[in-house]
Protein backbone atom coordinates (compact mmCIF):
# COMPACT_ATOMS: atom_id res chain seq x y z
CA UNK A 1 0.00 0.00 0.00
CA UNK A 2 1.10 3.54 -0.62
CA UNK A 3 1.87 6.11 2.08
CA UNK A 4 3.76 9.41 2.16
CA UNK A 5 7.00 9.63 4.16
CA UNK A 6 8.64 13.05 4.43
CA UNK A 7 6.77 14.28 1.35
CA UNK A 8 7.75 11.24 -0.78
CA UNK A 9 5.61 8.30 -1.82
CA UNK A 10 6.59 5.03 -0.16
CA UNK A 11 5.25 1.49 -0.56
CA UNK A 12 4.71 -0.70 2.53
CA UNK A 13 3.09 -4.06 3.17
CA UNK A 14 -0.54 -4.09 4.28
CA UNK A 15 -0.90 -4.29 8.08
CA UNK A 16 2.50 -2.64 8.61
CA UNK A 17 3.00 -0.65 11.76
CA UNK A 18 5.10 2.44 12.38
CA UNK A 19 7.89 0.48 14.05
CA UNK A 20 8.21 -1.79 11.00
CA UNK A 21 8.40 1.24 8.72
CA UNK A 22 11.20 2.78 10.78
CA UNK A 23 13.14 -0.50 10.70
CA UNK A 24 12.65 -0.73 6.93
CA UNK A 25 14.01 2.81 6.58
CA UNK A 26 17.02 1.97 8.78
CA UNK A 27 15.92 4.30 11.57
CA UNK A 28 16.24 2.01 14.57
CA UNK A 29 17.78 4.15 17.26
CA UNK A 30 18.65 7.62 18.29
CA UNK A 31 16.46 10.56 18.98
CA UNK A 32 13.57 10.84 16.54
CA UNK A 33 10.17 12.47 16.38
CA UNK A 34 7.40 10.96 14.29
CA UNK A 35 4.22 12.68 13.19
CA UNK A 36 1.37 10.69 11.64
CA UNK A 37 -1.29 12.72 9.84
CA UNK A 38 -0.41 15.80 11.86
CA UNK A 39 -0.30 14.07 15.26
CA UNK A 40 2.90 13.28 17.21
CA UNK A 41 3.22 9.56 17.95
CA UNK A 42 5.11 8.70 21.15
CA UNK A 43 7.84 6.07 20.83
CA UNK A 44 5.79 3.76 23.06
CA UNK A 45 3.03 3.78 20.41
CA UNK A 46 5.11 2.90 17.32
CA UNK A 47 4.30 -0.83 17.45
CA UNK A 48 0.56 -0.32 17.96
CA UNK A 49 0.22 2.31 15.24
CA UNK A 50 -1.02 0.50 12.11
CA UNK A 51 -0.44 2.33 8.85
CA UNK A 52 -3.29 3.01 6.42
CA UNK A 53 -3.35 3.81 2.71
CA UNK A 54 -2.57 7.49 2.17
CA UNK A 55 -1.11 8.14 5.62
CA UNK A 56 1.28 11.07 5.78
CA UNK A 57 4.30 10.55 8.02
CA UNK A 58 7.00 13.04 8.93
CA UNK A 59 10.16 11.72 10.57
CA UNK A 60 12.73 14.04 12.12
CA UNK A 61 16.00 12.68 13.44
CA UNK A 62 18.14 14.68 15.88
CA UNK A 63 21.79 14.74 14.89
CA UNK A 64 24.41 15.95 17.35
CA UNK A 65 27.37 18.00 16.39
CA UNK A 66 29.52 20.76 17.54
Range of the domain at 1: 1-38+53-66
Rounded-to-integer distance, Cα 14 and Cα 32, Å: 24
Question: Residue 64 is inside which H or E element, if any?
Answer: none
The CATH number of whichever domain residue 18 belongs to comes to 3.10.20.30
Q: What is the pLDDT of residue 54?
A: 97
pLDDT, position 5:
98
Q: What percent of the chain is predicted at pLDDT more than 70?
A: 98
The pLDDT of residue 16: 97
Structural domain contains residue 48: no
Q: How many domains does the chain have?
A: 1
Pairing of strands 56-61, 2-5: parallel
Instruction: Decide if pLDDT at 3 tops 70.
Output: yes
Interval 17-47: pLDDT, tens: 999 999 999 997 789 999 999 999 999 999 9
Which pLDDT does position 48 carry in this prediction?
96
* Residue 45 maps to a domain: no
Question: 49, exposed or middle or buried, with CB in 10 Å at 0-12, 13-18, 19+?
Answer: buried
Amino acid sequence: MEIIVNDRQHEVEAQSNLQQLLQELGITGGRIAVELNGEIVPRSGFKQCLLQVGDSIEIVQAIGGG
